[in-house]
Amino acid sequence: MRYVTLLVSPTEGQGFHPVGERIARDPDVAGEAIHRMDDLGDGTVTMLTEGTGDLDRYREILESSPKVHEFTVADGEGDRGWGYSRVETNDLVEYMLERDRELELVRDMPIEITDDGDQRVTLVGTEEAFARAARFDEPEGYDIEIEKTGEYHPESGRLLDALTSRQREVLEAAVAVGYYEAPRQATHEDIAEAVGCSPATVGEHLQKIERAVFGALVG
């Protein structure tokens, strides 16, 4: 069984959907991941998404978007929130859903949303399924870059693959500045300076990193 991780970038705008584009362009909120997306077969999908920033602003964007039929946002730790929504699809989303039915590959959730509004998607399948997928043309409106591929070994934990690219960046910076040395040689402020974010955001990233890594080790 193999996996391939793709970076998928819309060639127009900053999102795969008008709602995602508004979130990507707004300086007060950021999309982090799509944890679930289900096709209802009526031109809408339900989604469970993760975001950070001003959650009241996030709610305003959803409430003012005509493509959103219903939504709710639950507050998480710090400035992190979880949103359920039912939204209308567009041509790009419909193309993705159709390819899901045809490609015989499994999408490994969550889908990471980058700072630019791109999506980092990991697909899992057999050699034969990937060979059949190669016959499909790259969809109009997308640029697709293969970031990595290899054997899929879930039993080994694939610890770093469980992290988003931003989390890996924070972890690498933490190791580089000596945060995990004994005795500790660096603080959240040192890591924040290295990666260009706030110390509070570093703390949130490290909590998620440690929960993902230790959970895989002892789970």
Average pLDDT of the residues in 70-78: 90
Could you report the per-residue pLDDT of 46-60, keeping only the tens digit for each?
A: 999 999 999 999 999
Residue 57: strand, helix, or coil: helix
- Do the Cβ atoms of 76 and 96 come closer than 8 Å? no
56: left (phi over 0), alpha (psi -120 to 50) or beta: alpha
- Say what percent of the chain tops pLDDT 90: 36
- Say what percent of the chain tops pLDDT 70: 89
Torsion of CA 45, 102, 128, 152, to 10 degrees: 0
Average pLDDT of the residues in 105-112: 86
Q: Which position has the higher pLDDT, 70 or 8?
A: 70
Q: Is the pLDDT of residue 119 over 50?
A: yes
Q: Which position has the higher pLDDT, 4 or 191?
A: 191
User: What is the torsional sign of CA 134, 143, 173, 58?
Assistant: negative
pTM for the structure as a whole = 0.69
Q: What are the tokens at 79? A: 């400035």
Q: Is the pLDDT of residue 213 over 80?
A: no
CB burial class (10 A; 0-12, 13-18, 19+) of residue 121? buried
Tokens 């630019």 correspond to what residue?
116
The helix/strand count (H/E) of the chain reads as 7, 8
Q: Which of 166, 114, 108, 125 is nearest to 8 (CA)?
A: 114
Average pLDDT of the residues in 195-210: 90
Could you report the per-residue pLDDT of 88-103, keeping only the tens digit for each?
A: 998 778 877 887 777 7
Average pLDDT of the residues in 128-145: 76
Q: Which position has the higher pLDDT, 160 or 76?
A: 76
Q: What is the pLDDT of residue 127?
A: 87
Q: What is the pLDDT of residue 212?
A: 74
In the CATH scheme, what is the code of domain 160-218?
1.10.10
Spans of all domains in the chain: 2-152, 160-218
User: How far apart, in whole angstroms, are the C-alpha atoms of residue 171 and residue 209?
Assistant: 8
Residues 6+ apart with CB under 8 A from 26: 57, 61
Q: Is the pLDDT of residue 175 over 80?
A: yes
What's the mean per-residue pLDDT of the chain? 85
Q: Is the pLDDT of residue 158 over 80?
A: no
